[in-house]
Chains A and B, each alone.
Chain A
Amino acid sequence: MGQKLLLDTVHIENIQTYEGYAKQGGYQAIAKVLKSMSPEEVLEEVKKSGLRGRGGAGFPTGMKWSFIAKPEGVPRYLLCNADESEPGTFKDRYLMEKNPHLLIEGMIVSSFALGCHTSYIYIRGEFMWILHILEKAIAEAYAKGWLGKNIKGSGYDLDLYVSPGAGAYICGEETALIESLEGKRGNPRIKPPFPAIKGLWQSPTVVNNVETLASVVPIINRGGEEYAKIGIGRSTGTKLISACGNVNKPGVYEIELGISVEEFLYSDEYCGGIKGGKRLKACVPGGSSVPILPHYLVTKTAAGEQRLMSYESLSDGGFATGSMLGSGGFIVFDEDQCVVRNTWNFTRFYHHESCGQCSPCREGTGWMEKVLHRIENGHGHMHDLDLLWDVQRKIEGNTICPLGDAAAWPVAAALRHFREEFEWHIKEPIKCLKGNYGLVNEPALAV
């Protein structure tokens, strides 16, 4: 059994309440910080921990914090990204529902390190009931003196609020999130200036994922160095993985980074194998935006090494034969699933969610959706495959925010690994409407 740092107490019935959380050692990290640490020392621990952003990009958290500008007399803001909209991802929701005080404590510690006196949790509007859970927990924290003016006599003031979105994937992108929190449409901003310099209301701002901020609590409790001993290489600590699709036990799991994909997928402690004893067809290991892996690249890398649940191993082989850990949305496809249909579905998602500012994304996602729909419905042509390749390539890297890349990568990866399945749809339009292609063949020579 791996160590758990975030979900170790979720089975305790009243852990949602202040008393329950405090009884399990809650609010000791912030107590330690206020009593004996400076903001710089907190930052140092986070740096030592090797913690990387859990929202998808895996950017080192300590480094991100060190970029925040500190002009005299200007407030700074910490924003928690609880937008959780990447298809396949439902981990932050679980953490907030089960253990809201952990996030709150993590935000107090992190706000202290950054010198923020007002912080916000931006949560997707559909999670309104979690917003109520968080507000209740925040009210408890105020009542116990962990929020508000002069926290526990330390002289440090902090207010913490929750604010909802209203249905827009793009608001998970940090500058769109800021726009949305300012009460506007969620159109991402052109960077620079980066939020660390000019973010919310033009003030220096840090945006971090729910799980990232919650992880700061065990880092302070154990010390950064101890935290860094968990995991493998530059993938330190534990990670929440939300498993879905055709597995026996979908759900949210906390893993020590570095366990094998094989163990995660097949052991009873985690996914428990493919449902119905079927064969594995493919896996999207880090949320819909990351490249899909065909069955022969899921548990092993192209070099024949065991694939691990870590930032490095999942991306081993680059986009040619690897993928990404991303947000930890682990989507499993059994042999009866259709990759063309799923690619069309994902593309429809990105088209729907494109904010429309940049032509390559707004138009390109629409084109890809139409072409994929045509192929899936038996009206495709061989040259459509070149067209798809061309369109995705022209989106990637040509947009203000990475939603364009996120839309392009799944299409590129599907074409790369499942070309024979796409071709079959085009050559056998009747068969593709009735049945499915099954597993693709492993190329004789790994490229």
Chain B
Amino acid sequence: MGEIKEFKPEILKEIDRIIKQFPEGNQKSAILRVLHLAQNEFGNWLSADTMDYVARLLHLNPIEVYEVATFYSMYNVKAVGKVVIEVCRTGPCCLVGAENIIRHLENSLEIKPGQTTADGLFTLKTVECLGACGYGPMFQIGETYYENLTEEKVDGILNTFRTAQN
């Protein structure tokens, strides 16, 4: 068991607002959004402890949370780095050079998709179309889309995160 998890009061308030968007008794509908909040708050991933906590908050069985967490690709059910790079690998982006960008990321970070750098800073994830096909190659970090990427742009972005870390 890890440390006891608890959302900050302002997030608990936000969750209350979200639950009220659904008719009484349907608080289960809040689960996807609450899991996003939980992932943001508790280290970019959903540990069993985190999921159990969300289940208690929403008065659900833990299994109902696990089922959802393992279905959707945005949820990380294994530990990841501080910065998760989700790079699009789908057709339209590949027509404009996504494969080169993915290779460049692999070389710069010295990891393969699905892996985390030794310093725990970056995780590289390849993902399917993010709805930015006309602005490829592209990746997402947190809520931000980085579009029309070139190798130079990628280097700049990686460096910004490296500097912020130090």
Nearest Cβ in chain B — how far from A202, in angstroms? 11
In the complex, A221 has a CB within 8 A of chain B: no
Q: Quick one: which of A332-350 are within 8 Å of B by CB? A: 332-333, 337, 341-342, 345-346, 349
Q: Tell me if B128 and A87 are in contact (CB < 8 A).
A: yes
Stretch at the interface among B2-10, B28-36, B108-116, B153-161: B28-36
How many angstroms from the CA of A8 to the CA of B94 in the assembled complex?
A: 32
Q: Give the docked Cα–Cα distance between A279 and B22 (Å).
A: 53
> Is there contact, CB below 8 Å, between A126 and B35?
no
Mask, B109-134, CB within 8 Å of A = 1, is: 00000000000000000011111111
Residues 206 to 258 of chain A near chain B (Cβ within 8 Å): 242-246, 250-252
- Contact present for B127 and A93 (CB under 8 Å): no
A166 contacts B143, CB within 8 Å? Answer: no
B47 interface hit (Cβ, 8 Å): no
Does residue A329 face the partner (Cβ distance < 8 Å to B)? Answer: yes
In the bound complex, CA of A115 to CA of B134 (Å): 38
Q: How large is the interface on A (under 10, 10 to 19, 20 to 34, 35 or more residues)?
A: 35 or more
Please, how many angstroms separate the alpha-carbon atoms of A164 and B35 in the complex?
11
On whether the beta carbons of B136 and A244 are closer than 8 Å, the reply is yes
**From A183, A201, A244, A346, contact of B134 by CB (8 A):** A244
Is A124 interfacial (CB-CB < 8 Å)? yes
From A126, A166, A342, B130 is in contact (CB under 8 Å) with A126
Contacts of A164-192 to chain B: CB distance below 8 A:
164-169, 180-186
Pair A245/B143 contact, Cβ less than 8 Å: no
Q: Which B residues, 30 to 49, have Cβ-Cβ distances below 8 Å to chain A?
A: 30-33, 35-36
Determine whether the beta carbon of B36 is less than 8 Å from that of A125.
yes
Q: Does chain B have a CB within 8 A of A85?
A: yes
The CA-CA distance from A125 to B136 in the complex, in Å, is 19
Chain A residues closer than 8 Å to B96, beta-carbon distance: 244-246
A163 touches B140 (CB 8 A): no
For chain B, the bracket of interface size reads: 35 or more
Which of B23, B31, B74, B131 has the most CB atoms of chain A within a 10 A radius of its CB? B131
Decide if A129 touches B143 in the complex (CB within 8 Å).
Answer: yes
Residue of B nearest to A252 (CB): B134
Taking CB atoms, residues of chain B closer than 8 Å to A165 are 32, 72
- Does B75 belong to the interface (CB within 8 Å)? yes
If A167-B73, A185-B68, A186-B71 touch, whether A85 touches B129 (CB-CB below 8 Å) is yes
CA distance A111 to B8 in the complex (A): 36
Q: Which chain A residue lies CB-closest to B88? A: A87
Minimum CB–CB distance for A147 against chain B, Å: 13
Q: Are B67 and A184 in contact (CB under 8 A)?
A: yes
| Inter-subunit contact B36/A185 (CB<8 Å) | no
A-side contacts of B21, CB under 8 Å: 120, 159, 161, 163
Residue of B32, B92, B140 touching A245 (CB-CB under 8 A): B92
A288 an interface residue at 8 Å Cβ cutoff? yes
Chain B CB within 8 A of A353 CB: yes
CB-defined contacts of B128 to chain A, threshold 8 Å: 85, 87, 169, 349, 352-353
Most buried by A among B68, B92, B94, B136: B92
Chain A residues, CB < 8 A from B23: 75, 118, 201
In the complex, 27 of the A-B residue pairs with CB atoms within 8 angstroms, ordered by the A residue number, are: A87-B129, A90-B132, A93-B132, A125-B32, A126-B130, A129-B143, A129-B144, A161-B21, A163-B29, A164-B33, A165-B32, A166-B73, A168-B72, A168-B73, A181-B29, A182-B29, A183-B68, A184-B64, A184-B67, A186-B72, A243-B134, A244-B136, A245-B133, A288-B129, A331-B133, A345-B89, A349-B91
Query: What 12 additional pairs, Cβ within 8 angstroms, besides A128-B36, A184-B67?
Result: A75-B23, A87-B128, A126-B74, A167-B74, A180-B32, A183-B64, A242-B133, A244-B95, A337-B95, A345-B90, A346-B91, A353-B128
Q: B-contacting residues of A (Cβ < 8 Å)?
A: 75, 84-90, 92-93, 118, 120, 124-129, 159, 161, 163-169, 180-186, 201, 242-246, 250-252, 288, 329, 331-333, 337, 341-342, 345-346, 349, 352-353
